[in-house]
Amino acid sequence: MKLWDKGISIDNKIEQFTVGNDREIDIHIAKYDVIASKAHAKMLQSIGILSAEELEQLLKGLDVLDSQIEAGTFVIDEQFEDVHSKIEFELTKTLGDVGKKIHTARSRNDQVLVACHLYYKENLQLIQSKVKALFDTLLDLAETHKDKLLPGYTHLQVAMPSSFGLWFSAYAELMIDDVYLLNAALRTVDQNPLGSAAGYGSSFPIDRELTTKEMDFATLKYNVVAAQMGRGKNERTIAAALGSLANTLSRFAMDVCLYMSQNFGFVTFPDELTTGSSIMPHKKNPDVFELIRGKSNKIQALQGEMVLITNNLPSGYHRDFQLLKENMIAAFEDLKDILDIFNYAIQQVIVKDIDLNDDKYKYLFTVDNINTLVVEGQSFREAYQKIGGQVQDGTYVPDTSKKHTHVGSVHNLCLDKIRDKFPQ
């Protein structure tokens, strides 16, 4: 069953290759094709293509399919090329000639396009809500542990005093930047492409503003060629935003793995959140965070894939675009899982007490001690050389009493300011 079937048979090898695994992927966009089909049917009735009775029949038929999709009983059988042909077949099987009318004034191209727009829009919003949940968790952890000092590192060498409050809230504030990019991607896809048909519009007097309202898009993609050229551009934009968030999560997961190791020993987790070794009974491995790191890095590679699939394609539709869906949808589904498990696990973090009198942290306060000498009247260069000399000759004794008072520093986290900054 193909929407483009003209009664001519096609080589089985060619068919298998061109269909690929669209059937499996399209389950994720099935409900959005139903949403778009309802809007399209209402528009067809408004311009006289469908009668009121035919519209009612189509909407009831689409409701049945929507219920099946929601219940998980909707299946795209092997005789169908994709979800779009399956839905039209079911409507035709139930409603006869009325079902055949649903494809009037649209192409499979803009069916795919609008279904993807709707999927991307809803899932970008869902990811933002999951980011907000993790953001709130991190700021709560920062508040709880704001007075617990943590060694700060540069070049993986002990550098200056930090704190768990500073660490947790750093990643929280970084995620605000990721949400800015998610919002930009959301604005890109929150434009209705339906009505572009095969990329050049329709000779039917379709009402694209009606479908825009019905599907709750912010605006139209007015130019029909621009709408079709959005294939690929949408995915490149989204991949950049998802990749930015994935980078933040990957780096945070790496910190957790590092800080759990015995050589650092800053945090741990309940035994039930970790895994063991088949031969080393003492092991307590951070597998969850290692997989978060790996999956997040995989998502960061998506932007390059989207660019290479679509780079330098001329205007108009090309079958290359079919290849965009699989890994784009997989990235959304993986990122939602990553955010959920990260939030679940990090809430159970056990912050350890760190003995900053340990000899390996001896030089953690050298900069603070230099600054104390500067406040007392020495030039910075003189103070630097004095403390440096003490370090070299082994006479340095750290003074740990100095506080950092400026905005955003270890003793002035500004957690309320960071919380207020999160985009609404």
Q: Is 50 exceeded by the pLDDT of residue 2?
A: no
- Which residue in 128, 317, 156 sits closest to 238, CA to CA? 128
Residue 17's pLDDT is: 54
Q: What is the mean pLDDT of the chain?
A: 92
Residue 109 · residue 228 · CB < 8 Å: yes
| Segment 108-126, tens digit of pLDDT | 899 999 999 999 999 999 9
Rounded to an integer, what is the distance from CA 168 to the centroid of its chain? 20
| Terminal-residue alpha carbon distance, the chain | 45
Please check the confidence at residue 267 and state whether its pLDDT lies above 80: yes
- C-alpha–C-alpha distance, residues 424 and 420, integer Å: 9
List of E strands, 259-391: 267-268, 350-351
Which pLDDT score is estimated for 80?
85
Q: Give how far Cα 416 sits from Cα of 169, 329, 408, Å.
A: 11, 35, 11
Residue 275: band (very low, low, confident or very high) from pLDDT cuts 50, 70, 90: confident
pLDDT of residue 6: 47
Evaluated on CA atoms 329, 331, 333, 339, the torsion sign reads negative
Say what the pLDDT of residue 47 is. Answer: 98
The model's pTM is 0.92
Catalytic residues: 155, 277
Spatial distance between the Cα atoms of 378 and 223, rounded to a whole number of angstroms: 68
Using pLDDT thresholds of 50, 70 and 90, give the confidence band for residue 286: confident
pLDDT digits (tens, 9 = 90+) for 369-413: 999 999 999 999 999 999 999 999 999 999 999 999 999 999 999
Confidence check: pLDDT of 277 > 60? no
Position of tokens 């768990």?
164
Which pLDDT does position 77 carry in this prediction?
84
